Amino acid sequence: MAVPRRKTSPSRQGMRRSHDALKAPTYVEDKDSGNLRRPHHVDLKTGMYRGKQILKPKATTND
């Protein structure tokens, strides 16, 4: 069984784990509607993506 030759120092251990932190999701403001949406995703309210109509606009229901 393989065993490490030396103990991993706390500094090196921290460097290895530096990419494990959770990042907050990014949002951009839509140019046309002004709503927040994820970059490179379809705006679900308008159905637009890169200036083209991809989906039918979501019908707003007032309950």
- Cβ distance 55 to 44 under 8 Å? yes
| Separation CA 43–CA 58 (nearest Å) | 10
Task: Give the residue extent of every domain in the chain.
Answer: 25-63
Tell me the per-residue pLDDT of 36-60, one tens digit each, with 9 for 90 and over.
989 999 888 888 888 888 888 877 6
pLDDT at res. 57: 81
Note the pTM of the prediction, 2 decimals: 0.54
Q: What is the chain's percent helix, strand, coil content, to nearest 5?
A: 15, 15, 70
Q: Which residues have CB under 8 Å from 30's CB, separation 6+?
A: 36, 37, 43, 46, 48
Query: For residue 48, which phi and psi values (nearest 5 degrees)?
Result: -95, 145
Percentage of the residues of the chain whose pLDDT score is greater than 70 = 90
